[in-house]
Structure 1
Amino acid sequence: MSMLNDIPLSGCSPTPLASYLKALGVFRLISEQADSSARGYWKNEAFVLSTKLTKEELAEFFLTRYAPTPVVDPWNRGSGFLSSGDKAAKNLASFEYSKAARLKPFRDSIVQVRAVPLLAKMRKVVNSKKEFDKTKPDFIKQCRLIWRGSLLEWLDAAVIIGSDVSLAWPSLLGTGGNDGRLDFTDNFRQRYLDLFDVSKPDAPPAENTAPLLEHALHGNAVTGTGNHSIGQYMPGAAGGANSSNGFDGRGNVNPWDFILFMEGSVLFAAAASRRLGATGVSSSSAPFAIRANSIGNASVSMKEKSARGEQWFPLWDRPAALREIRALLSEGRAQLGPMTVREPVDMARAIARLGVARGISAFERYGYIERNGQSTFAVPLGRWKVVSQPNQSLLSDLDTYLRRISREAAGKRATASLTTAARRLNDSVFAVAADGTSPFRWQDVLLALSGADALAATLPPSKNGFGIVPKLHSGWLVSANDGSVEFRLAVAFASQRGIRRYFLPLNKFGNQLDEKGDVNVVCSGRDFVADAIAFLDRRLIDSAKDTSRTLMQFADVFASLSDISSFLQGALDTGRIMSLARALMAIDYKDSSLIASPIGSEPPEDAFTLFRFCLAPRHWQNDPRHLQKDIPVRADIFRRLSSGDLSSASRLAASHLRAHGFIPPLSIAAGDSRLLAAALAFPLSSASRDILLRSFISVSDNNQPKNKLHQ
């Protein structure tokens, strides 16, 4: 095998879309018509062509030997096949009757088109919209049966014929080769006629054709670009309002750009990619085409019209042959476990889990979005690298929930708050798929889930179409753990049994919304201190029904005393604790050992110890080694404390403890009474209890230590 020359095509970059397709067009034409051993790859924002040809021979091929692919759309009125005497028909005739050898494949294809039986009828009914629209599907199906070779490959790129024989239009080529009044195939022929004189046998290039080619391939400066239409593929060169230093700008299109990007689009044949199993929008059957969504792009509204969806175009950094790229695009799918990707957020997750074809280094994401009135532009929405990210399987917990909330947010009656919540959640999942190593990004997902549950709490269950945050695996505790005090306290607070029913109207099993669950909801989710007090007050009411007169505060994860000290100092972001805790209530704490619960050697201030033992939790008193059932819970002390009457509450607490044989470390407390009351909502382990016991003063009877706490 002879040495291949690496020729960087600096004029062929991944953006805009016309430039990306132009690179593939060059690669396809060279591989099929000049050098079958050619390879191609992307490097430094340019396409690199590895070929036996030199740079000069590459230019010589396009100027003297390049045979254009027969791109035709006889099913469209502006194609030139259904009319006579207009410009499109004359352009078509220039190709059909040319004697140029390089146009022979094109002429042969025109013969195939004219051999389709229904073409004659299409010409007759072209001015009757009803009859034309009725005949068009049958005509396209006849074309599919009769056409062969490159003509058939082009048809598969322009039209999707489903398994039910229905027709759909891949967004890449508009509506079957045209976009409104712009017929891509006629434009293709016009641009070719601008560059070559097809009336002569060798179809020689025009005077400015070679410089324009150098500009298209290598980005060299050139004059002679024209005010041509280029449709959605290169918005910056399309002209229009505010596109220049005046009120209106002219188009600035190199004819080679249009020709070569059309040649590249042929590779995106949709026929083989029907395995995507598209439902809904038709574009789902095209290679790496998915439903439109504003996720990950702040310039697009959640409700913005984008019926044509979006498409992710692969980039690869290792030399590949055309057959490999054609196979990749014909497969044109991404998998997320057993599920085929249909949404942008799913595509990002599939990339993160390497659920795409091997060899792809990145994807360039494009959305087909309406801009400048009702014009559709292929807008670049960012690049996504194919890098395996950790813990992505955790996002599977949200599969169904994400679809429900996104569907509801896209509805006509969706409120602004629902739209915002859905976008925030999808954006956060999108971000964690890009970088799953950051605990802060995982926390952003939890915070977004918290916001969604907060919204769910304001809606009657019968009006909630998206439900509540589903059960989450305990692995979230590891991925989102940033080592902060706020996170540890949020986990401890959220891990208490049955706590979620105080924030959401849930059924008796605590797994779904219930109209009757409102009676338990006492927390608003807006202020942690207020909610912690409300939660504990409700638990005290429930405890009053229990003859044991103890506080039920069972938890799977306990707070540390040092963390509670930080909380009492007022140095923490209580809003973040609340938001994180609300989402963490959905965690399945079966494997709560995934997060450590440090005990801490420094107990909080003595005032906390005073009130903590007046509300001793049941699991403390059930420990036969310490603290028998000698200190009943005093709800009135807690209510005085939470109302701000600290002095009265502390005197009652000290008196209560003395009455049961325990001498507290102080009799009158000072500080923030509501913060003290809220701190009691954090569950503490028996080991932490033992540390707090040391604060009590021992008394003697006949010179013997006496303390019921240690009996």
Structure 2
Amino acid sequence: MMHEHLLAGCTPTPLAHYLKALGILRLVAEQKDPEAAGRWQGELFVLRTVLSREELIRFFLEEYRPTPIIAPWNGGSGFYPKDNKSGIDPISKATAKRLEPYREVIALARLSVGDREESPKNEEKADFLRSLRALLPDLVLTWFDAAVMLTTDKPEYPPLLGTGGNDGRLDFTNNFMQRITELFDMADGRPSTKSAAWLLASVGEEAGHGLVTKAIGQFSPGSAGGPNATTGFDSDSLINPWDFVLMLEGALLFAGAATRRLESTDVSTLSYPFTVRTTGTGAGCGNVADEAPSRAEIWMPIWRRYIDLHELRALLSEGRVTVGRRAARDGLDFARAVSGLGIDRGISGFQRYAFLMRSGKAYLATPLARIQVVRNPKADLLTHLDRFQWLDRLRSVARKDAPGRIQQLVRRMEDEIFSLTQGGDRLVLQNILMLLGQIQQSCGVSTKGRDAVGPLPFLGAEWAMEADDGSHEFRLACALAGLTDMRAYLAPVRVDKGKVEWAPGSPKAVWGGGDLVSNLFRVFDRRLLEADRDRQEIEPFAGFPAADIPAVMAFIQGKTDDGRIAALLSGLVNVQLPRNMPHRNVSTDHPPAVFCLLKPLFTPDGILQELGILPPDRHLPLPREVVNLLKAGNREQAGRAIGIGWRRLRIVGMKLPPHPRRPPALVGTEGARLAAALMIPLAKGDLARICQPFMPVQKAD
């Protein structure tokens, strides 16, 4: 019969309690019940085993054999004259059978230490570690490999166990041995008088009492003492000895899984299970400044189905995730890659931790956030930012000497990327687009920015399709972004042989401060100068995808958020836009007669001829004075502009309404806004409808 034990003392936070859950499963499976399995249920760990509640408690109190955890390479480990020996000496002299392996391992290690007065340093330490590992029995190698990674150059230390089993002046192994002496009698191995109560409190069956004043280190920030830990200035660490013991027993599951990252042979690129560089952004993070005084961050998996010890070892040994073809380097990479990993292995989420320096030289495993595994296809679009290593280079620059504005924008973008990986909607994708546009504009005017990172590479059309929320603002921004060479007007860039390059000082980059309408006029004025230079007529405002009448009408009536249109435009100009956006069923008023009259002047001849509005042998140029008069802002000049347009249409032979025989008046909007609206490409179907009065009547056969 299988029993399920809900362990209230084993929770995803703090890290000590997470590792404790793993330790309980490992010890039960290795020493008592090979079929034992575990899973997370809500915020608690569930152990499934043939052991009843009484048998489980009895196993730990009477049968559990502590793993011989030692670190003679560290000062403070108990192996040197000045070390605390309250744990190592009693165990080395113990006669209890359950402690016999521990006693033998200590004796072996003392042979390696010899007559040293202090722990080895530098090259001597590397040699010592190699010779020690060759002597140790398999029982201890699991611990050794969890704490130390031997390389051809120098020893490396997985961040989970500090720097080889210690954190500053706190040696985990010495404290482990001290806790063992508090739990068991060294002579016969029986549990101490408080051991049972401590065990019940540790698994969460009874309230904790009689905690000991000892150190726990980085694993439980709330118990670590130090300034501000309580109402006093400096409090002692209060811990349950079983918590510390089971925590380190659980940490052993992370042994032997360090590998080099796929794209490098550099020692500094060693990769440990679910461990990456700290990213000071994303859910739960407070400041990019946390990145510097940080050892690393680690993402602890949460799974909902039962897995046994064999499966758990496999999960942790494969605890490396990739972004594209490279290994995840930091928290942002991990967030991007986590969905695929979780789906493959049945992981439902991760508890994200960062080892941050919080008091003196001590690091604390600070819980940042619970990251749910949510498959979001929109997050796949982020791979477009990896072209030419653009995103990596940008983030690297932002963490060095980039201007403050670029640093701020990149931080905000990283937060949005985190949100996107957690199932963020279209608005999150729009936020990323807007930030990308602002980043490109800021880098474009910064010599340091241009030297360090190239322009944003072209993004696929999927960005526009997936970010489309059906709003007027988004449709208008897409239409404006599709205007010929619009990207060059917003930032100093040029396209050479399909590749985007910086064009410092480009006279085309006229977009700047001011509102959307004034910036559109700057683009118009620049096009006028280019036309004069090339002795050509001004190029019509054509492009794709075009906007529909409801969006243009909302703009004419001043019902749109122009600031959002401009911000979206700055990002969408970097997208290879689709020819058409999905159709919207939106009701609207008919555009004003003035708009219908003047719109053909802003439309290429080919489209007008295709729709039958302009005779095939005629040409309809855009008189520049029409825009200049409209943007002047007063009704008299607007009337003159309308009159010019009216006459121009008559000259080319377009059909005009017979009544009244005069141009329509400007009503319901101002001239400048009307001129800006006319620059927005309009969908052919909508253009045909509003120009219906201008089409020649088809004679019946």
TM-score above 0.5, yes or no: yes
Deviation (angstroms), 1:511: 4.0
Confirm or deny that 1:505 pairs with 2:462: no
Partner Cα distance (2:246, 2:492) in 1: 60
- Give the deviation of 1:156 after TM superposition: 0.6
List aligned pairs for 1:74-223, cutoff 5 A: 74-81=72-79, 83-84=80-81, 86=82, 88-116=84-112, 119-120=113-114, 123-124=116-117, 126=119, 132-162=121-151, 164-198=152-186, 200=187, 202-223=188-209
Deviations 1:422-461 (A, max 9, x none): 111111111111105x211211221221221231232237
Distance 1:138 1:383, change over 3 A: same
Q: How does 1:661-700 map to 2 (within 5 A)?
A: 661=650, 665-667=663-665, 671-694=669-692
Q: What pairs with 1:424-435 in structure 2 (closer than 5 Å)? A: 424-435=412-423
CA distance in 1, matches of 2:343, 2:465: 27
Match of 2:232 among 246, 259, 271: 246
Q: 1:628-707 to 2 correspondence within 5 Å?
A: 628=615, 629-658=618-647, 660-661=649-650, 665-667=663-665, 671-694=669-692
Which residue of structure 1 aligns with residue 15 of structure 2?
Answer: 17
Q: Distance between the aligned counterparts of 1:582 and 1:148, measured in 2?
A: 63
* 1:319 equivalent in structure 2: 306
Alignment of 1:218-617 (within 5 A): 218-271=204-257, 273-274=259-260, 284-297=270-283, 299-304=285-290, 305-354=292-341, 357-399=344-386, 400-411=389-400, 413-436=401-424, 438-460=425-447, 463-509=450-496, 511-516=499-504, 518-524=506-512, 527-544=515-532, 549=537, 551-589=539-577, 591-593=578-580, 595-596=582-583, 602-617=589-604
The 8 Å contact of residues 611 and 688 in structure 2, kept in 1 or not, is answered as no
Describe how 1:22-41 pairs up with structure 2 within 5 A.
22-41=20-39
The alignment covers a number of residue pairs equal to 683
Kept after mapping to 2: 8 A contact 1:525/1:582: no
Which stretch of structure 1 is more off in the superposition, 219-228 or 353-362?
353-362
Q: Which moved more, 1:27-36 or 1:456-465?
A: 456-465
CA, structure 1 residues 356+278, in 2 after alignment: closer, same or farther (shift >3 Å)? farther
In the TM superposition, residue 599 of structure 1 has moved relative to its aligned partner by 10
What is the alpha-carbon distance in structure 1 between the residues aligned to residue 264 and residue 56 of structure 2?
40
CA deviation string 1:52-96 (max 9, x = no partner): 111111111111111111111111111122x23x45335212111
| Bigger mean CA deviation after superposition, 69-78 or 131-140 | 131-140
Letter in 1 for 2:376: Q
Partner in structure 1 of residue 653 of structure 2: none
Instruction: Tell me, in whole angstroms, the C-alpha distance in 2 between the residues paired with 1:57 and 1:559.
Output: 72
1:623 shift after superposition: 4.0
Is the 1:334–1:356 contact (alpha carbons within 8 Å) kept by the matching residues of 2?
A: no
Deviation string, structure 1 residues 640-687 (Cα, Å, up to 9, x no partner): 222323421322431442255256641455632221122122112443
CA distance in 2, matches of 1:513, 1:461: 15
Q: Could you say if the C-alpha distance between residues 222 and 685 of structure 1 is closer, same or farther in structure 2, counting changes exceeding 3 Å?
A: closer
Larger mean Cα displacement after TM superposition, 270-279 or 498-507: 270-279
| CA 1:668–1:184: 2 relative to 1, 3 Å | closer
Paired amino acid for 1:215: A
Are 1:328 and 1:357, in contact at CA under 8 Å, matched by a contact in 2?
A: no
Provide the rounded CA distance (Å) in 1 between the counterparts of 2:118 and 2:238: 37
Contact 2:593 2:664 in 1 (8 A): yes
Partners of 2:55 and 2:15 in 1: CA distance: 26
Distance 1:322 1:410, change over 3 A: same
Indicate conservation of the 8 Å contact 2:354/2:367, yes or no.
yes
Encode CA deviations 1:305-363: one digit per residue, 9 max, x unaligned.
24411011111111111111112112221133322222212211212234775122211
Distance between the aligned counterparts of 1:355 and 1:670, measured in 2? 56
**Which residue of the partner structure matches residue 50 of structure 1?**
48
Does the 8 Å contact 2:262/2:326 carry over to 1? no
Give secondary structure in 2 for the equivalent of 1:520: coil
| CA drift at 1:584 | 0.9
Opposite residue 489 of structure 2, the aligned amino acid is: Y
Unaligned runs of 5+ in 2: 651-655
Counterpart-to-counterpart distance in 2, 1:693 and 1:548 = 27
State which drifts further: 396-405 or 181-190.
396-405
1:300 partner amino acid: G
Instruction: Give the TM-score of the pair, scaled to structure 1.
Output: 0.90
Deviations 1:76-133 (A, max 9, x none): 111122x23x4533521211111110001112222332344xx337x1564xxxx732
> SS state of the match for residue 574, structure 2?
coil
CA 1:277/1:208 → structure 2, altered by over 3 Å: closer, same or farther? farther
* Cα pair distance change 1:462/1:376, threshold 3 Å: closer
1:470 match: secondary structure = coil
Task: Using structure 2 for the length normalisation, give the TM-score.
Answer: 0.91
Letter in 1 for 2:640: R
What SS is found at the alignment partner of 1:521? coil
Q: Distance in 1 between matches of 2:43 and 2:443?
A: 45
Q: Distance in 1 between matches of 2:272 and 2:124?
A: 24
Contact 2:142 2:256 in 1 (8 A): no
Can you list the C-alpha shifts for 1:444-493, whole angstroms capped at 9, x where unaligned? Answer: 22122122123123223774423322211111122111111111111111
2:78–2:85 Cα contact (<8 Å) kept: yes
Instruction: For 1:100, give the aligned amino acid.
Output: A
3-state DSSP of counterpart to 2:595? helix
Aligned-residue identity in percent: 36
Inter-partner Cα distance in structure 2 for 1:557 and 1:59? 69
Contact kept? 1:647, 1:668, Cα under 8 Å: no
What's the Cα RMSD here?
Answer: 2.7
